[in-house]
Amino acid sequence: MVRKILYTLLIIYISVFNYSCYNTRYINREFEIPYKDYQVYMLSQNEYKLQPYDYLYISVRSTNEEINNLYQTISSSFSGGLTNNESNFFLTGYMINDSGNVFIPTLGEVYVKDKTIEEARKTIEDKFGEILIDAIVNVRLTSFNVTFLGEVSQQGRISFYKEHVNILEGIGMVGGISGYGDMRNVKVLRQQDSVIKIFELNLENRKLLEHKDFFLHPNDIVYVPPRRTKDFLNFVRDYSTLITLITSTITTTLLIIELTKSK
């Protein structure tokens, strides 16, 4: 009877030890997408469509000195002693209003809602072409912010200064996923007009690279849920020392009793 109890306690001790080590192994595992030899994946990029409250940087170049001076004055506020932060863009960028229009000096309102950056650039350039012969227009999106929540190393909103950011780059910018994060069920919340869409991405699936939502959109919310075993792993981690001490004490006591009986 005593031996059965000892064996049972031994199994419990080994199980607790394994679970306490499991979390460390998970954290130290390098993030990788499995592959064999060299494989080529076709990136499926779901091009972002401009929405109300997006901020644009617009520059114009032409032989018209008056136009050049106007837009050089406006553009200089982005680099003339001010840092490229969100407050700067809020004060100096061109915001798309509720109606989907952006107000541009000398042109007035130009409708750009649901257009890609390149389509908006072409639309604005064509408008300038009505009053200028050789206008060259450059348009950039300045409000590319993504919020990261859940089991990531750094929660919060991150600003990107590039037009195309994929989910892996975004996760990397916040320090990666914690040891408790469920990499197979990462959720992305995306608002379009008054509709919020929620979809899941499996970061451990090689087909992720071909997923239509592999690239993030401005104002996305990325949520990494905890693995189902998180609560149990937390319990084991927090109480592993106590469990080990109790198990060792009981085992030692039973051994003493067994040895006493044998005498």
- Residue ranges per structural domain of the chain: 2-25+234-262, 55-141, 144-224
Which superfamily is assigned to 144-224 in CATH?
Outer membrane lipoprotein wza domain like (3.10.560.10)
Work out the pLDDT band at 132, boundaries 50, 70, 90: confident
Smallest CA-to-CA distance from 139 within 159, 168, 167, 110 is with: 110
Give the Cα separation of 124 and 82 in Å (integer). Answer: 26
Strands 145-150 and 221-224, bridge-based pairing: parallel
Pick the CATH number of 55-141 from 3.30.1950.10, 3.40.50.300, 3.20.20.140, 3.40.50.720: 3.30.1950.10
Confirm if 147 and 156 have CB atoms less than 8 A apart.
yes
Residues 87-111 pLDDT 10s: 555 556 789 999 999 998 888 999 9
Task: Give the pLDDT confidence of 1-53 residue by residue, as tens digits.
Answer: 555 555 565 555 555 555 545 444 444 444 455 555 556 666 666 788 999 98
Alpha-carbon 178 to chain mean position: 13
- pLDDT tens string 113-128: 999 999 999 999 999 8
How does DSSP assign 22-46, residue by residue?
A: HHHHHHHSPP----SS-------B-
Sign for the CA dihedral angle at 62, 64, 67, 73 comes to positive
Burial of 24 (0-12, 13-18, 19+ CB in 10 A): exposed
- Closest C-alpha to 92, from 73, 108, 106: 73
- Distance, CA of 161 to CA of 84 (rounded, Å): 9
* pLDDT class of 220 with cuts at 50, 70, 90: very high
94 closest CA partner among 69, 67, 121 = 121
- What is the percentage of the chain residues whose pLDDT exceeds 90? 33
pLDDT confidence bin for 215, thresholds 50/70/90: very high
